[in-house]
Amino acid sequence: MLRVAGLSLAYDETTPVLEDASLTIEAQSFVSLVGPSGSGKSSLLRAVMGLQRPLSGRIETDLGTSEIGILFQDDALLPWRSAAENVALGLRLRGDSRARAVAEAATWLARLGLGGLDDRYPRALSGGQRKRVALAQVLALKPRLLLMDEPFASLDAITRARVTQDLLTLVEAEHMTVLLVTHDLEEALALSDVVYLLSHGPRARISRRYEVPIPRPRDVVTARTHPAFAPLLEALWRDLSREVAGETAAA
């Protein structure tokens, strides 16, 4: 579905933040990228979305740009559009009529537990509700590949767990492929089939790949009680600590 080969990325023209990264994402798999701050995780997502030009390397995919959806941490809804209009935006940009797009948006809002809030402006929604609207906005376009950059980092723990579970259920139901960037190792393991660990930047590399053999469909809470979870978390934590220590030593 998506293959990244020898990819190097930089904020400016000089120092690569990420160097020679290669990874493969199979169709219908859930893949996470974890790693220290400044290891180029977000840049990688932006490059896949075509928002950032790579220094070198290739990004190969059989998907058109319209089949890829992206959700950022600090996602902004259009403040002058209601929840339903925000969700309908992508559909309208694809040529749906306004009426049809708004009707479709309403079903997505209902699916994400926001039924009846269609006419609210973003200002009148809570942080969790805004996140759900942003999620509905992306999911309404039925992307085959969903890219997420710490999408729920700004939410409180309980809201975050609930939104994450709802997302996971939808992803499994729609057979979506997901590439998630996160700082949260437990979240990465609970959600993913494959976790990639990046080394510290600049010139970060993909240092390890872990497979998570927890069966689906999953529950984000009970997945953590699976026998494979604790050893994987320990290994991931140890390897990440080593990367962060390397960063400190280098600095």
Residues that bind other proteins (CB under 8 A): 49, 51, 65-66, 69-70, 72, 74-82, 89-90, 93-94, 121-124, 137-138, 141
CB closer to other proteins, 123 vs 238: 123
CB closer to other proteins, 11 vs 72: 72
In whole angstroms, the minimum distance from the beta carbon of 68 to other proteins comes to 8
Structure tokens at 171: 């992803």
CB closer to other proteins, 76 vs 245: 76
Centre a 10 Å sphere on the Cβ of residue 240 and count the other Cβ atoms it contains.
Answer: 21
CB closer to other proteins, 89 vs 155: 89
Q: The sheet that has 16-25: what strands, in order across it?
A: 16-25, 2-10, 56-61
In whole angstroms, the minimum distance from the beta carbon of 181 to other proteins comes to 15
**In 3-state terms, the chain is what percent helix, strand and coil (to 5)?**
40, 20, 35
CB closer to other proteins, 71 vs 155: 71
CA distances from 140 to 7, 49, 54, 59, 91 (A): 30, 18, 29, 25, 7
In whole angstroms, the minimum distance from the beta carbon of 162 to other proteins comes to 23
d(CA 188, CA 212): 10
The helix (H) or strand (E) run that includes residue 146 is: strand 145-149
In whole angstroms, the minimum distance from the beta carbon of 89 to other proteins comes to 6
Q: Are 192 and 218 in contact (CB under 8 A)?
A: no
In whole angstroms, the minimum distance from the beta carbon of 119 to other proteins comes to 11
CB closer to other proteins, 13 vs 74: 74
Q: Tell me if residue 155 falls in helix, strand or coil.
A: coil
d(CA 64, CA 151): 23
In whole angstroms, the minimum distance from the beta carbon of 229 to other proteins comes to 33
Structure tokens at 64: 């058109």
Structure tokens at 158: 């309980």
